[in-house]
Structure formats: structure tokens, C-alpha cells
Homo-oligomer: A and B are copies of this chain.
């Protein structure tokens, strides 16, 4: 029995058991994409509209053949967009291709080298998309003020990076992430920067609602086994968060928790 079977993740109008969202790029082939996605237990899979074929090219292999929309919530993303206009256009294209599907992941990049977001353009695109009826999940920096503003604009989930996309460096600024979580009324989903299972667990222990990853799975030596590791790590971190961890002490006999002494 899963101890937290009733612990659901609500994003906009949808609900999910899984808190591990996966990317679909960077895998060797569609068979690996399928196997890794299944091992991850993902229910939401994100698709880079500019790079993946979900029907634009009828003669080529279609990602949706291995990740059918009946089974997965397809989350089109705007990877590769550097302006608000481009991102908005890409979301509209996705909506057409997916028969009116309105859930999208917005990312507007500031720099091809680091793939860090352009937060000003992101704010602008988010406003346009919300006004146009999209349910917007939004990739952003870990700036607590901006994350709150994106929520106020009407985004259904805010997705701060933990470290640069594709870096695998793990969570760099836990205090920022904690502040973002404390302030939020929508789900906070770490997007980018997770490198291994413990990174994902840490994100969840901080109180994140989910984690989205791609490279950490696809660039492991054994992607399918790493996908399984990530599934368990996300559940472990979530349960640890819900279970309430023991206080840290210098040693067992210490009469009180570590008081502001952290080394």
C-alpha cells in the first residue's frame, strides 16, 4: 500500500499521483523514451514543440505513438524561444496540434549558453498566454519576488530552476526555494538542475510539489534504471517531507536542536 495514495498534485484543472514530470528529449530513441517514461511513473511529459514531432511531420516517427495523450498529459514547452512573441506563437501552435489542449510550459530563454530564463520576457509572455486562456506552467529563476508575481498573473504552476538546465549541479539556493514555497498558493515544481536521485529527494524535502527533469535521466549511463531511481527518490522526499524529519542535533545527548549553529 502506498502510504500517500491520497496525496495528489493539483495543477490547474488536473490532478496527478505522480510528482515526477519528465522531459522527452535527449533519449537515444523512442523506445528508450517510452521505457524511461514508464520507469519514472511520469503522468506529465513535456515536449519541446520546436524539436519534437507530435504530428507536424506526418511522415516521421511521432512521439505521441509511444507517449499517447490518452495515457499521459502532454505538456508542450517553448524550449528554444528567446522572445515573448516566439513563445506565445509556439504555445498556439501546440494548442492547434493537440486539439485545443491548453496546458503549456512556458520558457523564454535569455542566453543560449546557460539557458537561463529571460524573466522580463517571461513575465510578458505569461500575461499574454493567461489572457488567451492557457493554463501556464512557467520556468523561471529562483527569484522569490518574480515567482510570486508569476502566480499573481495567473500561472497554474511556477517552476524555478535548481541549477542551470542540463547541469546536474543540484539545488544551489535552498533558502530561495524555501521562500518561494512558503509564499506560494500554486504548485512549485523544480525545473532544471537535478543531477541524481538525492537532488530530487532534497527538492521534495524542502516542500516542492514536484520536480521536472530530463538530462538527469537521459544522460545517465542506464536511463531506465535512473528513471526508476528518480521515481523512488521523489516519493521518498515527499514522504520525508510529510513525515516531518527529526531535528538536527550536535549529538544525541544535546538537550536542544542545533540553534542557529550550522556549519
Contacts and interface: CB of A to CB of B under 8 A. Distances in A.
Interface of A: 3-4, 39, 110-120, 123, 141, 143-146, 163-169, 172-176, 178-179, 195-198, 200-202, 205-206, 215-216, 219-226, 228-233, 235-240, 242-254, 257-260, 262-263
**Total copies of the chain:** 4
A245 B195 contact: yes
Contacts of A259: 257, 259-260
A221 B244 contact: yes
Contacts of A242: 222, 225
Given A216-B246, A220-B244, A249-B168, A117 B145 contact: yes
A205 to B, nearest CB: 6
Given A120-B123, A236-B230, A253 B141 contact: no
Contacts of A202: 198
A1 to B, nearest CB: 9
A116 B236 CA distance: 29
Given A230-B236, A249-B166, A3 B172 contact: no
- A-B pairs, top 6 by smallest CB distance, nearest first, are A166-B252, A262-B262, A221-B244, A110-B145, A229-B239, A174-B263
